[in-house]
Chain A
């Protein structure tokens, strides 16, 4: 898969993860351009239907970024994200979608470099998995 550039949709929350992504920029930590970022208010507000829609519309991978557990700006939102995401991952596996294609990560303001590393790692993982063919 030499020429394959995975398309990744990233839903990031307006609070910790936005600051973390910003830090990456400030610290000069670069990450692959494969990630297309969409800002949401809370990781818990990402509807499973929207995630499926992202895959349908051509995403090879979807990442949800939120505040660390216990630090959600809205108290419990990220727990909702965790529960829904895990169940969705399980169901999508039944559907033939590898669980590595859907990721949920907590990013704090101090983790700019870690965020950049994560994007690199996810991009390579998706490159290895190949394009998603489930929704052709």
Chain B
């Protein structure tokens, strides 16, 4: 369905794009189901690779600021992601970091704990299921008999969108909840957005505020991995020694919160609550303060029970955090 560059008067012009992404944020837009027709009535989508056949050159040929709103999901992992982010920024009035990857770096951001070369070595040679000629890696320029082929540069580190271009709004979530997406689009269409820089489509309190579980007292003598105990499905996870990122995560994913209602602790996909810059450090602080012991040896033992602090506290937000990227000498 080609809407073409001629648009109906009054309709807002949208672009929906993905960097280092999985497509889940695009599916979340589609998951608004029949309300998608309301979106279609209010918006003209000029670029949406998952659903429409517009090309990069269509965007390049547009005038600057032609697009009213760009919803950019996915992280910035390579030079193509960065190039298109800059292109869309130039062509758009409003740039929205859509979803956890764009807001914080997301799951792909876990690669920032690893060495770039180790990733290339394993993917193209080391993995047991790879059959590869020795020494062949993807190159930025490959000569073939007919000419030259180009691939983007695989960066040293994953970036959140606002580390590459200026971002006007953030819609958190992995993926953002469809009901929240509708609220955001409605706010855009009715001109009801808060000042630039705001997180929209989410609450202004930590997840715990909307959690239905019973809370008694947070004094933990041991931390457990979920298979190590039979836990009470009605009580706060943290109180039972299961790491839950609720205290350091913004609420709004759903009511009751998505993972909580599926009987799993929160992993922080909605990013930090307002006024918190480093989600992982805040969570670490919270976990530290509920350890119920005054004996240094016992404290040591309790901390040993936390399996993967870096990958758990910074599950979605390593690139946007103060730590950003691990360096190897």
Contacts and interface: CB of A to CB of B under 8 A. Distances in A.
- A, B bound: yes
Nearest to B294: A79
Interface in B282-326: 282, 284-285, 287-289, 291, 293-294, 296, 299-300, 303, 306, 308-311, 313, 322-324, 326
B303 A49 contact: no
Q: Which 6 pairs show the lowest CB-CB distances between chains A and B?
A: A84-B288, A91-B309, A94-B310, A49-B281, A83-B288, A48-B281
Contacts of A82: 296, 299
Contacts of B323: 52, 95
A84 B285 contact: yes
Given A96-B326, A133-B327, A48 B285 contact: yes
Given A49-B277, A49-B281, A133-B327, A83 B291 contact: yes
B329 A83 contact: no
Contact of B288 (A49, A80, A133, A135): A80
B299 A53 contact: no
B238 to A, nearest CB: 14
A36 interface: no
A47 B286 CA distance: 10
A48 B276 CA distance: 13
Tell me what chain A mostly uses at the interface: helix, strand, loop, or mixed: helix
24 contacts: A48-B281, A48-B285, A48-B288, A49-B281, A49-B322, A69-B296, A80-B289, A83-B289, A83-B291, A83-B293, A84-B289, A86-B288, A86-B300, A87-B287, A87-B288, A87-B303, A87-B309, A90-B309, A91-B313, A94-B308, A95-B113, A95-B326, A96-B326, A134-B327
Interface string A65-89: 0000100000000011011111110
A47 B285 contact: yes
A23 B294 CA distance: 28
Contact of B284 (A84, A96, A136): A84
Interface in A28-85: 47-49, 52-53, 56, 69, 79-80, 82-85
A49 B278 contact: yes
B289 A49 contact: no
Nearest to B283: A48
